[in-house]
Amino acid sequence: MILDQVIFSKKVQSKGFESDSSSERPLRSVLKALSWRVVGTMDTLLVSYYATGKFTLAASIATVDFLTKLVLYFFHERIWNRIKWGK
């Protein structure tokens, strides 16, 4: 899904179509999502460890949190990128 958008975006740009200068490419959204999720996952790991006292459980919670919120953030960014308001 995500990789399809990244690949499709590169194909469209390479065929001479100009992209909207106020929009971001999907790859930028992926990198933003990854960097933000690293910060968020560290927070989740620390809070989960504090709440449970078990590192293994905290790491499991943080891993699920990382994966689900990474995907949600990517699509959230792509939807907001299509909204012209405020640009």
Can you give the pTM of this predicted structure? 0.60
Residue 50 has pLDDT above 80, yes or no: yes
Residue 20 has pLDDT above 90, yes or no: no
Residue 4 has pLDDT above 90, yes or no: no
Band of pLDDT at residue 33, cut at 50, 70 and 90: confident
Band of pLDDT at residue 32, cut at 50, 70 and 90: confident
CA distances from 19 to 9, 10, 53, 62 (A): 9, 11, 49, 36
Residue 13 has pLDDT above 60, yes or no: no
List the structure tokens of 29.
């959204």
